[in-house]
């Protein structure tokens, strides 16, 4: 069931366009991420849904109701920002109770709800602490509990992990996803970190310059990016320049330096015979050693650089005048290569993406 719907939403600040003709449909209970580079309009989109920013054009509906003109307090939306925003002069308990006290709930009910929220975010026993006595991750848990305790219809998270160190970010990624699942709350998550979006989301909208470029599951966005920009923004990519030889439905055969390989055309993409086409292959999809001679396509290359990283070994392979990075698991059954070794470069036909 569609729960949140943006229809041709735009936001102009003077002459600059922050968001342009945005159409989005978010399902009930979904974990939906807005992913894109700085300044692409993610926070503006979130703020329009929360009611802090008024759209220039278009309509926003929540659960079938037009909320476009409603003030924030009439929308039943909880929002968590990157910089915690918990009150330093209040204990953890009072911080979490704040929204319930404002709603004038009976004291016994407040205590019961705050205790439940504390348990949910794994902070039971911390009720008497102040902000200065908490780590960054703990502060962010309190910020989330403060929002969850008022049981909003929608949870908005605007880069909630960006103030945390790398290790804490990793931990909180899984933790937020699990909480969201167990509460079942419709969540919109804003980030410019592709690994956060891939790890947590049911679906991702990739944005650039105020526009949505592609919407899909993490697998679709990573494995079938609709453009070169998306391919390069999400994950690491090898992009080989070639020429389209032939197109059969979604399969495009491509000439790369005299060798024919194939790639899949993704969402809204078409190729024309003779046109320049880029072939995308992810480093971990490429194999340098294969006993299966039926595997196509195959290019001849030479090892130009070896980067040992413990669990994986990365090779930079020269193919004609182009290069690819290849990531090989460090396993005893896979032979190590040396500099200047000649190799055959393989991948499953499915793993190549053709981008016109
Ligand atoms: N109140 C405002 N007045 C004028 N311009 C604004 C205002 N708010 C945002 N903008 C502009 O709108 C564009 C989108 O901003 P927004 O904050 O939505 O980007 P973002 O994707 O959240 O970026 P970041 O990842 O850096 O937070 C930017 O060019 C920004 O400068
Ligand atoms: Mg922002």
Atom of ligand 1 nearest to the CA of 190: 22
Asked if 11 and 92 sit in the same domain, the reply is yes
Closest Cα to atom 13, ligand 1: which residue? 18
Identify which of 43, 163, 233 to mutate to test ligand 1's pocket (most ligand atoms within 8 A of the CB): 43
Is there a single domain that holds both residue 200 and residue 111? yes
**Which atom of ligand 1 is least distant from the CA of 53?**
1
Sheet holding 65-66, edge to edge: 16-27, 2-13, 57-62, 65-66
Q: Report the alpha-carbon distance of residue 204 to residue 179 in Å, rounded.
A: 19
Q: Which atom of ligand 1 is nearest to the CA of 42?
A: 21
User: What integer pLDDT is reported at residue 234 of this predicted model?
Assistant: 93
Q: From the CA of 298, how far away is ligand 1's center (Å)?
A: 45
Within this chain, do residues 25 and 163 fall inside the same structural domain, yes or no?
Answer: yes
Tens digits of residue pLDDT in 173-193: 888 898 899 889 999 999 999
> Mean pLDDT score of the chain, rounded to an integer?
90
Domain boundary among 228, 245, 260: 228
Q: Which two tokens stand for residue 348?
A: 């499953």
Position in ligand 1 atom list of the atom nearest CA 47? 18
C-alpha distances (whole Å) from 86 to each of 4, 155, 190, 226 are: 27, 17, 20, 40
Ligand nearest to the CA of 48: 1
Q: Contact, 185 vs 29, CB < 8 A?
A: yes
Residue 12 CA: which ligand is closest?
Answer: 1
* Ligand with the closest atom to the CA of 42: 1
Residue 264, strand partner residues: 251, 353
Q: Are residues 32 and 173 in the same domain?
A: yes
Res 296: pLDDT: 60
Mutate to test the pocket of ligand 1, among 10, 13, 157 (most ligand atoms within 8 A of CB): 13
Interval 191-197 mean pLDDT: 94
Atom number in ligand 1 closest to CA 46: 18
For ligand 2, the distance from its centroid to the CA atom of residue 50, given in whole angstroms, is: 14
Q: Per mean pLDDT, which of 69-73, 269-273, 289-293 is the most reliable?
A: 69-73
pTM value?
Answer: 0.87
Is residue 17 within 6 Å of ligand 1 at its C-beta? no
From residue 145, give the alpha-carbon distance in Å to each of 64, 95, 249.
Answer: 27, 9, 50
Q: Are residues 138 and 197 in the same domain?
A: yes
Nearest residue (by CA) to ligand 1, atom 19, is 39
Is the beta carbon of 253 within 6 A of some atom in ligand 1? no
Ligand nearest to the CA of 18: 1
DSSP β-ladder status, 77-80 and 238-248: unpaired
Q: Is the pLDDT of residue 347 over 70?
A: yes
Rounded Cα–Cα distance for residues 127 and 193 (Å): 32
* 125 vs 136, higher pLDDT: 125
- Tokens found for residue 204: 């991702």
Mean pLDDT of 107-134: 93
242 and 222 housed in the same domain = no
273 and 181 housed in the same domain: no
The protein residue with its alpha carbon nearest to ligand 1, atom 20, reads 39
150 and 168 share one domain: yes
Choose the final residue of a domain: 177, 199, 228.
Answer: 228
Instruction: Give the C-alpha distances (Å, rounded to integers) separating 339 from 91, 305, 307.
Output: 61, 6, 11
CATH number at residue 87: 3.40.50.300
CA of 112 to the centre of ligand 2 (A): 35
Residues 52 and 156 in one domain: yes
Q: Which value, to the nearest 10 degrees, does the dihedral of the CA atoms of residues 237, 242, 247, 249 take?
A: 0
Q: At which of 228, 244, 276 does a domain end? A: 228
Task: Indicate whether 335 pLDDT > 80.
Answer: no
113 lines ligand 1 (CB under 6 A): no
CB 282 less than 6 A from any atom of ligand 1: no
Q: How confident is the model at residue 81 (pLDDT cuts 50, 70, 90)?
A: confident
Residue range of the domain that includes 55: 2-228
Ligand 1 contact via 18 beta carbon (within 6 Å): yes
The answer to whether residues 131 and 278 belong to one domain is no
Number of domains in the chain: 2
pLDDT score for 290: 45
- Which residue from 9, 10, 16, 18 has its CB within 8 A of the most atoms of ligand 1, so it is best to mutate? 18
Out of 20-29, 202-211, 255-264, pick the least confident.
Answer: 255-264
Edge-first strand listing for the sheet containing 77-80: 77-80, 154-158, 186-191, 31-35, 203-208, 211-216
**What pLDDT sits at residue 218?**
97
Among the listed ranges 70-79, 81-90, 231-240, which one has the minimum average pLDDT value? 81-90
């Amino acid at each position: 069931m569609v729960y949140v719907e943006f229809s041709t939403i735009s936001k102009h600040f003077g002459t600059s366009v922050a968001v342009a003709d945005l159409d989005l449909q978010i399902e009930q209970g979904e974990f939906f991420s807005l992913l894109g580079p700085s300044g692409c309009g993610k926070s503006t989109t979130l703020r329009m849904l929360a009611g802090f920013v008024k759209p220039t054009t278009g309509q926003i509906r929540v659960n079938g109701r037009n909320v476009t003109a409603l003030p924030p307090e009439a929308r039943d939306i909880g929002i968590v920002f990157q910089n915690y925003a918990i009150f330093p002069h209040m204990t953890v308990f009072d911080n979490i109770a704040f929204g319930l006290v404002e709603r004038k709930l009976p004291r016994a009910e407040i205590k019961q709800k705050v205790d439940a929220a504390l348990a949910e975010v794994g902070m039971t026993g911390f009720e008497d602490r102040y902000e200065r006595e908490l780590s960054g991750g703990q502060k962010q848990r309190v910020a989330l509990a403060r929002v969850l305790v008022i049981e909003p219809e929608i949870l908005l998270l605007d880069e909630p992990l960006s103030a945390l160190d790398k290790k804490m970010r990793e931990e909180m990624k899984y933790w937020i996803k699990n909480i969201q699942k167990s509460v079942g709350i419709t969540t919109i998550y804003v980030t410019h970190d592709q690994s956060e979006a891939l790890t947590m989301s049911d679906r991702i909208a990739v944005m650039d310059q105020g526009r949505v470029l592609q919407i899909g599951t993490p697998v679709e966005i990573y494995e079938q990016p609709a453009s070169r920009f998306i391919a390069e923004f999400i994950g690491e990519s090898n992009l080989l320049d070639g020429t389209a030889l032939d197109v059969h439905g979604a399969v495009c055969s491509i000439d790369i330096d005299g060798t024919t390989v194939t790639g899949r055309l993704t969402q809204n993409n078409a190729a024309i015979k003779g046109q320049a086409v880029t072939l995308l292959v992810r480093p971990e999809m490429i194999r340098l050693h294969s006993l299966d001679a039926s595997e196509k396509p195959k290019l001849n290359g030479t090892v130009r650089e070896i980067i040992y990283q413990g669990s994986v070994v990365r090779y930079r392979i020269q193919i004609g005048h182009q290069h690819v990075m290849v990531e090989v698991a460090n396993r005893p059954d896979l032979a190590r290569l040396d500099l200047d070794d000649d190799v055959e470069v393989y991948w499953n036909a499915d793993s190549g993406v053709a981008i016109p």
